[in-house]
Amino acid sequence: MLYIIMQNHPTYIKTDDNKIINENHIRWVKKLTDCLEVCTKSTGCNTLHNDTHKICKCNNLISYNKLIKHFE
């Protein structure tokens, strides 16, 4: 699991469910096989309750590449 501290200016990422999230609101990112799981809730997320966002390489390559670079 990776905790990311974003910059002050807002940048946005598209999720697989056609939502746009502000990078400054990302709490954590979990790397899955060819996908990323992203939490934006200030109180944290529970992956079992589907309160995270998925960003998969095959659906949103630009957003995926923007976040996956933090794992390299």
Q: Which helix or strand (DSSP H or E) is residue 62 part of?
A: helix 61-68
pLDDT tens digits, one per residue of 37-68: 999 998 888 877 788 999 999 999 999 999 99
Q: Where are the domains of the chain?
A: 12-71
- The pLDDT of residue 30 is above 60: yes
Q: Are 23 and 10 in contact (CB under 8 A)?
A: yes
* pTM of the shown model: 0.79
